Amino acid sequence: QVQVAESGGGSVQTGGSLRLSCTVSGNTRRHLCMGWFRQVAGKEREAVAAMATMGGSTYIADSVKGRFTMSVDNDKSTLNLQMNDLKPEDTAMYYCATNEACWWIGYPKSPDFTYWGQGTQVTVSS
C-alpha cells in the first residue's frame, strides 16, 4: 500500500511563490515515478511536472518552464515543486501522483499514475 500526501498550497498574489511538497509512504518500490498534476473545475487534469526518481524520464509543461522547478529529496520519498512568478492561470488544485515506473508516451497523463494524493489548492490573485 502507498500513501501520498501533499502540502504547501495557499493563496498568493501574481508574481509570488509557493513550494509544494509531496510525501510518499509505504512500499517504496511502488513510487519510482512521481509527478505533479493540476486541475481546474470543469477541465481535465493536466501534468505539470514528472520524473523518474532514480534518473531518466523527466517532463515539465511548457506553461511552467522557467518558473516551476521539481526536485526529489535524497530519500526519494519527498517530491517538491517550487513555483515562482505565479500567475492567475496557475490557480488550480494540485495533485501529487506516483507509479512504479514512468511509462508515459509523449507526455504524462493521469492513467499513467496509480497512486494519488487528495490535492492542495493553489490560488493566485491578480
d(CA 78, CA 122): 19
Residues 6+ apart with CB under 8 A from 41: none
Query: How confident is the model over 40-94, as pLDDT tens digits?
Result: 999 999 999 999 988 889 999 999 999 999 999 877 789 999 999 999 999 999 9
Give, in order, the Cα–Cα distances in Å from 41 to each of 45, 77, 91, 93: 9, 29, 10, 9
Q: What pLDDT, on the 0 to 100 scale, is given for residue 44? A: 96
Question: 110 near 104, Cβ under 8 Å?
Answer: no
